[in-house]
Chain A
Amino acid sequence: MARRSLIAAVVATAVVTALVSVSVTRLTGQSARPARAADGKPNISGVWQVNNEANWDLQGHDARPGAVTQRGIYPYAYAEVAGAPVLALGAAAIVPGSIGVVQGDKQIPYTAAAAAKKTENAAHWVDRDPELKCYLPGIPRATYMPYPFQIVQSTNKIQMIYTFSNAARTIHLDNVAGPPDDAWMGHSVGRWDGDTLVVDVTHFNDKTWLDRAGNFHSDALHVVERFTPISPDALRYEVTIEDPKVFTHPWTIAMPIYRRLEPDVQLLDFPCIDFTEEFMYGHLRKQQLVKHWEGDTIAVDIRRKVPPGEQLFDWYGK
C-alpha cells in the first residue's frame, strides 16, 4: 500500500513536472521557453515591463491634474489645476494615483537637507528631470519606466536592454574590474542566490533621478536589486537603495515585473535624442519654431480651438 502510494506520488510529480514545462511553452505563444536556463538557473530571458505608477512617484500619491500644475481658485494643493505645459492635453495628461512601491513605513528616509532638495526638485520638474532630456535613466529607474525592456540571459553575462533611450547594461556574473569612471547606468555585478538574481550596482554618477517626483540620489548611491521569479511570467523586483549622503538609512522598493506575452513583442526604436532637440536647443535656432522663447525660457503659448458658445453642444457631443 505504502509502495503504491509512493509510486502514485512519483507518477503525479513527474507528470506535473512534464506538463508544466510543456504548458509554459504553449501558453506564451513564443517558441520554446523552458522554465530553467541551460545552467539550471531560472530562465528570465524575454521582454518584460512593469505595470505601475512608480515612474511618476515611488511613494503613494493621489492622482493630480497634470505633471505640471498651478494654483487654481483655491489655495489648497488638492485643488490645483493643470499647468500650462500640459493644459492642452486634457485628461491625457493626468497623473494617475498610486499606493506606492516604498516598503516598510512607505517613507523615503531623506536627510533634512536632502528632503528640502527633493521638494525643490518636484517644483522644478520640467527643468530638472533628466528623463525629459532623454538622458540615460540609471538604475533602478530604467526598470520601472513605462516601456518594455529585454533580458538576454547568458551564463556569465546578462544583458538588460531598455526601450527608453536605447539604454543598456551588462550584468557581470563573472569577475571583472570596475569601469574607469562613474556611469549613468552604474556598474552591475550579479550572482544567483538560489532562484534570485542579485545585482549589486555601484559607480553611479549623481545625475539620474529615481522618478518624476524629484526623488534623487548622490554619487554615493549603492543599489542592490533582487529579481525573483514568482511565476513563469512574473518576477518580483526588490531594490535596496543606500546613499549615506542623501538618506539616513537604506530603504527598499518592491514591485512585480510582468512578461510581455504578445507573440510578436519586440523592442522598437525610442529615438528620444532627436525628439528632444527642440526641447533642449529650440531657443538657439536662427528662426524659432516655438515662437515664445524668452531668452532661455519657453513661454508656452497654447493654441487650441475651442468653439463659440452656440457650438459647444456639438463639440461636447462628438
Chain B
Amino acid sequence: MRKRLLQALGVIAVILAVIALLRVAPAGSATQSAGKTAWGDPDLQGIWTDEYQTPLQRPAKYANKEAFTDEERAELDRQRAGILRRDQRVEIGSERDVAGAYNAVFQSIKHTGKRTSLIVDPPDGRLPALTPEAKQRADTDRQFRLALLQATQTCKDGDAACAGGKYGPPSPRRAEVPPFYNTGRLNRSDGPEDRSMTERCMAAVLPDFGGYRRIVQAPGTVSIFYDVGQGQGWQRIITLEQVAHPPSSIHQRFGDSRGHWEGNTLVVDVTNFSPKSDFMGARENLHLVERWTRTDAKTLEYAVTIEDTTTWTKPWTVKQEMSRQDEQANRIYYEPRCHEGNYGLPALLSGTRSEEADFAAGKGPDPATKDSATDFGTEGGVDALTGGG
C-alpha cells in the first residue's frame, strides 16, 4: 500500500517537475519571426522605423482625402526630390547662411507615405483645438520669444519667424526668466537653459514618430531603445507586471510605462511625465495609450492616443507603420553620445560672452541684435509634405 502511494506520489511529482520544465521549454525555433517569442508572447523584437514621410497633420489642400494614389505619391516624390532644401546657399557669411551649416547631408528625406496625415482621429487628420489655458500658455511663450528677437535683422526684415512681433531696440525682457521651463531655442544664450533641448542633447520626447527603435523582450518586460537622431536617444522599459503607476509625485522625462497584452497587441499606458518634458506644449499632465501590433513579419503598427485636458480639447490619435530593418548588419549605430561630444553648447555660450565683451569694448555689435534662435531652413524650397525645408 505504502509502496503504491509512493509510486503514485512519484508519478505526480515527476509530472509536476516535467511540467515545470516544459512550461519554459523552447516552443520552437528561437529565430521565429512574425509569430511568438519562445515564451509565447507576441514577438515585436527587432529594429524598426517608419520608412515613409507622412505629415503629422493633413495639409489643407488634401482636406477630405485620407490617402494618396500611387500616382500622387510618385508626383510628390518627384517634386520633393527637386528642391534644394538646406543646400541652398544665401549671402555667404550672413546669419541665414550660417544657420544652414547643417546642410541637406544631415537631413533624411523619405519617400511619400500612403496616408495624408499621421493623425487618424480626429477624422479630419488635424490636431484638436487647444484649450483656452493652452492658448494662453502658447501666447505667453511666443511673446517672450518675440521680445528676445525684436532687435534682430529677422524682425527688421519682417521674416515669418518674427510674425506677431515688431522690430525695435533690445527689449528689457531680455533680462527676464522665461515664463516656462524653456525647451526651444531662445534668442539668448545667458546660460544652458536658454538653449533648446536639442542643443542640450535632451531632444527626445515621447511620443516620437521618427528615428529607429530596437525592441528586446523578456517575459514581463518590453524594452525599446529609441535612436532619435543627432546622436541622441533613450532607453525605455515597459513593465508588463500588473503594478500600479508610481504616485503622481514621481516625474519621469518619458513618463512611466505599464503594458499588457490584448491578443497580439501590446497596450501601454503612460503617465507620470515631468514638467521638463514638452510634447507640443503638453508636459506633466500628458497621458498616452499606445497600441503596438505586429501585423506581419516586416511590419509593426504603432497607434497612440494622446490626451492632456490642460492642452487639447479632446484626445487625438496617431497611427504609423514601421518596417523591420536589417538586424544582421547591425547597421543602425545607436549609442547616444551627443552629450559626450557637445562642444556646440559651450561654444554658443562662450561665443556670446565674447560678443558681449566686444560690444562692451565698442568693438562689435550688440549681441541682442543677432539671431541664434531662428532656423532658416526653407531657402531651398518648401517640402509639400512637411511644410519645412
Partner-B contacts on A (CB < 8 A)? 4, 7-8, 10-11, 13-15, 17-18, 21, 30-34, 36-40, 43, 45, 130, 133-136, 150-159, 161, 166-168, 170, 172, 174-181, 183-185, 207, 263-264, 266-269, 271, 273-274, 277, 280-281, 284-287
Size of B's binding interface in residues, CB under 8 A: 73
B322 at the interface (CB under 8 A from A): no
On whether the beta carbons of A287 and B328 are closer than 8 Å, the reply is no
Q: Which residues of B326-365 are within 8 A (CB) of A? A: 327-331, 333, 335, 337, 339-340, 345-346, 349-350, 352-353, 356
Would A287 and B220 be within 8 Å (CB), given that A8-B6, A156-B31, A178-B330 are in contact? no
Complex partner residue of B327 from A150, A176, A181, A184, CB under 8 angstroms: A176
On whether the beta carbons of A263 and B243 are closer than 8 Å, the reply is yes
On whether the beta carbons of B235 and A168 are closer than 8 Å, the reply is yes
Partner-A contacts on B (CB < 8 A)? 3, 6-7, 9-10, 13-14, 16-17, 20-21, 23-27, 30-31, 37-40, 45, 189-193, 200-202, 214, 216-221, 223, 225, 234-235, 237, 239, 241-243, 246, 250-254, 256, 274, 276, 327-331, 333, 335, 337, 339-340, 345-346, 349-350, 352-353, 356
- Min CB–CB distance A177 → chain B (angstroms): 5
Complex partner residue of A287 from B10, B16, B39, B190, CB under 8 angstroms: B190
Known: A30-B220, A152-B217, A269-B251. 13 other contacts (CB 8 A): A14-B13, A36-B21, A37-B39, A37-B219, A38-B27, A136-B340, A154-B217, A154-B218, A155-B31, A277-B192, A277-B200, A281-B192, A285-B191
- Min CB–CB distance B330 → chain A (angstroms): 4
- Min CB–CB distance A207 → chain B (angstroms): 7
Would A176 and B190 be within 8 Å (CB), given that A135-B340, A154-B45, A286-B356 are in contact? no
**Which secondary structure characterizes the binding site on chain A?**
loop
On whether the beta carbons of A155 and B335 are closer than 8 Å, the reply is no
How many residue pairs link A and B with beta carbons under 8 A? The number is: 193
On whether the beta carbons of B218 and A153 are closer than 8 Å, the reply is yes
Complex partner residue of B253 from A33, A156, A271, A284, CB under 8 angstroms: A271
Q: Chain B residue with minimal CB distance to A30?
A: B241
Residues of chain A within 8 A of B327, CB atoms compared: 174, 176
On whether the beta carbons of A286 and B353 are closer than 8 Å, the reply is yes
A273 vs B38: C-alpha distance when bound (angstroms): 38
Residues of chain A within 8 A of B214, CB atoms compared: 159, 170
Q: List 7 A-B contacts (CB under 8 A).
A: A7-B3, A11-B9, A40-B24, A159-B223, A166-B234, A177-B331, A266-B256
On whether the beta carbons of A183 and B335 are closer than 8 Å, the reply is yes
- Min CB–CB distance A56 → chain B (angstroms): 23
On whether the beta carbons of B340 and A184 are closer than 8 Å, the reply is yes
On whether the beta carbons of B335 and A152 are closer than 8 Å, the reply is no
Q: Chain B residue with minimal CB distance to A282?
A: B191
Q: Chain A residue with minimal CB distance to B328?
A: A176
On whether the beta carbons of B191 and A281 are closer than 8 Å, the reply is yes
Q: Chain B residue with minimal CB distance to A172?
A: B330
- Min CB–CB distance A118 → chain B (angstroms): 22
- Min CB–CB distance A121 → chain B (angstroms): 18
On whether the beta carbons of A10 and B335 are closer than 8 Å, the reply is no
Residues of chain B within 8 A of A286, CB atoms compared: 189-191, 352-353, 356
- Min CB–CB distance A116 → chain B (angstroms): 26
On whether the beta carbons of A284 and B349 are closer than 8 Å, the reply is yes
Query: What are the 3 closest A-B residue pairs judged by CB atoms, nearest first?
Result: A14-B13, A284-B349, A38-B38
On whether the beta carbons of B200 and A273 are closer than 8 Å, the reply is yes
Residues of chain A within 8 A of B350, CB atoms compared: 284
- Min CB–CB distance B136 → chain A (angstroms): 27
On whether the beta carbons of A36 and B24 are closer than 8 Å, the reply is yes
Residues of chain A within 8 A of B13, CB atoms compared: 10-11, 14-15, 18
Q: Chain B residue with minimal CB distance to A17?
A: B17
Residues of chain A within 8 A of B38, CB atoms compared: 37-39, 155
Residues of chain B within 8 A of A271, CB atoms compared: 253, 276
Would A38 and B237 be within 8 Å (CB), given that A45-B218, A207-B340, A264-B243 are in contact? no
On whether the beta carbons of B335 and A166 are closer than 8 Å, the reply is no
On whether the beta carbons of B216 and A157 are closer than 8 Å, the reply is yes
